[in-house]
Structure 1
Amino acid sequence: MYSINIILGLPTNVYILWLMVTGAVGTMASDFFALNLTVCEILYCLSAVLNYLNDYLFNDTLGVGVAFFMGFISIGRPLFQCCICVERYLAVVHPVTFLKYKPLRYRVGCSCLCWMVVLGFSMLIALVSTVLSNMIIFLLLNLSLWFSIQLFCCLTVLWALKRPGPGEGEREGEGMNKIKLRAFRIISVIMVSMIVSYLPLVLLLWVTVSCDSG
């Protein structure tokens, strides 16, 4: 798993980051949360080196470092994904509010707050990593929260895209033009990917907590 992260994950995310940074300024604003998500993924991929060393040296300090970087994947990834989903939700369901907070400075401020949360909770994970039960409960609450928000946003956006826009009527057969149909398919793929990624882990953690309490 560590080798896959380094060999496949690291080059892919670095390439994605390069495409975003060298892209047009206009796309930088719309993909700002995705850029932060990519940085978070790169930092986690680099932490595979600590995992290798910890497997062979069994050093307590390295173990804490490994637990700290776990926060980037268990907290950072769902948090920035959640920001992307909320942004798309506002753009589709509440376009006036989206246009009000569309300037890049709002995304920068939100991203700074998210990084503070990621770093703070990563330190917390490193502290409670020695107590397995605390670690499981913490991850369960975290994943359940972000999973619920993302699922709500995705389902709401899909429902809104299904409805015909003003003046569209039923001209497209399903009340959805080609642009909406493309967005509908993309968001459907994202939602399925999210369910496959998070739902089994959330259920596994729930079962683990239930067995421990029983």
Structure 2
Amino acid sequence: MNNSTAIFTTSEVFSDSMTPFIGLIEILQICVYSFGLLFGLPTQFYVVWLIVKESGTILPSEFFSLNLSVCEIVNFLNCLLFMLSVLFSSFIKIAHSLSGLGITGRPLFECLICVERYLAVVHPVTFLKYKPLRYRLICSTAAWIISLGSCSATRFLGGTQNFTGHSWFFSVQFVVFLSVQLFCCLAVLRALKQSGPGERGREREEENHMKRRAFNLILIITVNMIIINVPMIVSGVITIFMQQNIPALWIPSNICYVLAGFVHPALYLYRAGKLSRLFCA
């Protein structure tokens, strides 16, 4: 296989010591990608259908979730391109271009969701001011433009096999996105421990419930991002240290990346009350 992971650079030059294991690595990668396509892709389409169809219109509160689901659909389709690149090497260039959505698009939209929850809890006046859909549309458009720029950068770095540059590329983004999410998480946690003056018991309980839901959502997204990026960064550091790209190192990153794609739809289905119905059915 001419690539090491769905969101990393190509490994067109394998070391001789890894040659006997290439077949096993290809099988593991195909199994991981197939699992994402068979289960992740239908789930994401179902979430998009729920957001658009069942509500009758796109609610501003779900607009970032809709964009994140669309981004995840492209990411899962990109897994198909990497699988096809086993037989047709021409697909690898397209796959490398779209992998920028996994590096930048997914965490960027997750950050927007975290910031939205942070404003709703900590700065409710500002949140109400920018609550109309047009502001979310502007933010989402900017996020897509940044993601497309990341796709171009990823294709260039993948084409040049610049492993060091690529490792720095996603590591810096990971630090930035994680910092934003941790700030939102801690700010909401602090607000959760504080009670507004003159609040009644029931009002205080309802407000704390809203803050607690926002905190849990941000915390889950932050932990999800750590699970995705830490194995990737560890593999990248080892790759830089050894000055060669070893495909076996990226298997854990592939598994974490694909499984992380199920977190967002599971959260939405849980909030929509659909998850329990699916299990009951």
Classify the TM-score, shorter chain. Answer: 0.7 to 0.9
Per-residue deviation, 1:28: 1.8
Alignment match of 1:122 (pick from 124, 128, 151): 151
Q: What displacement does 1:173 show?
A: 11
1:74 maps to a residue whose letter is I
Decide whether the 8 Å contact of 1:143 with 1:202 is kept in 2.
Answer: no
Alignment: residue pair count: 210
Structure 1 Cα separation of the partners of residues 235 and 83 of structure 2: 26
Deviation at 1:167, TM superposition (A): 2.3
Q: Does 1:132 align with 2:159?
A: no
Instruction: Verify: 1:149 aligned to 2:180, yes or no.
Output: yes
- Say which is worse superposed, 153-162 or 108-117, in terms of deviation: 153-162
Paired with 2:175 and 2:169, the residues of 1 have a C-alpha distance of: 10
Q: Percentage identity across aligned positions?
A: 44
Return closer, same or farther for 1:28/1:88 CA change in 2, 3 Å cut-off: same
Q: Which has the higher contact order (CA 8 A, sep 6+)?
A: 2
Shift of 1:145: 1.1
Superposition map of 1:10-159 within 5 A: 10-24=41-55, 28-57=59-88, 59=89, 61-129=90-158, 130=160, 131-159=162-190
After TM superposition, the score normalised by the length of structure 2 is: 0.66
Partner of 1:194: 225
Q: CA shift at 1:62, angstroms? A: 2.0
How far apart, in 2, do the equivalents of 1:200 and 1:163 lie? 36
Could you say what the CA RMSD is over the residues aligned between the two structures, in angstroms? 2.8
How far apart are 1:203 and its partner, in Å?
Answer: 5.0
Q: Deviations over 1:95-126 (max 9, x none)?
A: 11111111000101111111111111101110
Q: Distance in 1 between matches of 2:179 and 2:242?
A: 23
- Aligned-residue offset at 1:64: 1.6
1:107 partner amino acid? R
List gaps (5 residues or longer) in structure 2.
1-31, 244-281
- Structure 1: which 5+ residue stretches go unaligned? none
Distance 1:199 1:172, change over 3 A: farther
Residues 100-159 of structure 1: per-residue CA shift (max 9 Å, x gap): 111000101111111111111101110111322211111111111111111111121122
Deviation at 1:8? 1.0
TM-score (ref. length: structure 1): 0.85
Alignment check: 8 A CA contact 1:85 1:153 kept: yes
SS where residue 54 of structure 2 aligns? coil
* 193-202 vs 105-114, which moves further: 193-202
Distance change in 2, residues 1:153/1:208 (3 Å): farther
Letter in 1 for 2:46: Y
Contact 1:147 1:198 in 2 (8 A): no
